[in-house]
Amino acid sequence: MNLKFGLIGHPLHNQFSVNYFTRNFEEAGLAYSYENFDLATEEELRAFISALKTLGDPYLGGHNLNVPNNDGITLQGSEIGGTNLEGQSLHGQSLHEQRLHGHSLEEQHLEGQSLEEQRLEGQRLHGQRLHEQSLEEQSLEGHSLEGHSLEGQSLGGSNFVGASFGGLNVTKPYKEKVLSMMDELSIEAEVCGAVNCIQFLPNGVLKGHNTDVYGFNISLQQFLGLDRKKRALIFGNGGAAKAVCYVLNELSIPYHLVTRSLIKQENELNYSELTLALIKQHELLINASSVGMYPNEDQCLPIPFEGIGKAHFCYDLIYLPEKTTFLLEAEKRGARVKNGLDMLHLQADEAYRIWMDA
């Protein structure tokens, strides 16, 4: 089965995801492809997600998202196989329940089946997939979805006709906005209120995950070692910051969020409130904002760096450039520093596991 995976967003500056997942697929002997889908407008995003859902059950697996939208998708007057989708719920059973007709993977293993045998059995039980059928058989030819024809539709540089998708990933600044477009959420995504990985379940059901939680958790513990009796300042309050908060709560590390916007919670501060004393009292400093990210490497967090010393651990989720101005200034003052490259790799590993275990 040839599945397509990819990264959605605008603008997309680098090829990390393409190279990483393509290499993994090749090493596993899988004839899957991965590409960037550059969607410049909200209208293109709507058409993209709507088209994916309208395809029904082409055995979708997963994609990486960088998408700016939080409005719901309405299917109006579209038909697949003669069935009208207007008003039809896309929610349903879990992937394992639908593929294995109520039998858990554990039960399948007890019966001696391998994971590959389970997948093949699931494919047989659900019949021939959309990518193996013509447009005429699916009754999609000529039907439009919110003004976007599926016939010959090209979005983000990719033609949707006959495509079978496997999964998506999401990056800033759209991790929160895409949340309401999901049919199901993992616990981490629901608690964080942010999604960075989309898993496609049968019947067009989209499940949102937050693999940033996994990536940040592992990389932070490796960075701190056993020295976790610290208080933290988190710079930023977007989707990435929510994953950071989730992990710090799990590790029982107290923190304050530092933001430019109006204070909404007791543990929030404005940059204007930062003092040397506050910086000295919080020895774990985490940049979860886009300040200093390529192509704006000259930008720097407006904080009193004089308060940073050898006892500080400074973590920047940004990995391009390798060291932001924040990390360079902290390093000058003896702080231990770390960028977001390990987190990037770890969250990608988790996304790959989610898609392949589906």
Candidates 356, 358, 357; CA nearest to 29 is: 356
The answer to whether the CB of 274 falls within 8 A of the CB of 304 is yes
Query: Degrees (nearest 5) of the Cα angle 327, 170, 40?
Result: 100
**DSSP string of 9-65, one letter each residue:** ESS----HHHHHHHHHHHHTT---EEEEEE--SHHHHHHHHHHHHHT--S---EEEE
| Residue 280 bears catalytic tag | no
Angstrom distance (rounded) from CA 49 to CA 146? 11
Query: Degrees (nearest 5) of the Cα angle 294, 296, 298?
Result: 120
Query: Active-site residue among 4, 53, 172, 175?
Result: 175
Q: Which residues of 310-328 are buried (b: 16+ CB within 10 A; e: fewer)?
A: eebbbbbbbbbbebbbbbe
* Catalytic sites, residue numbers: 175
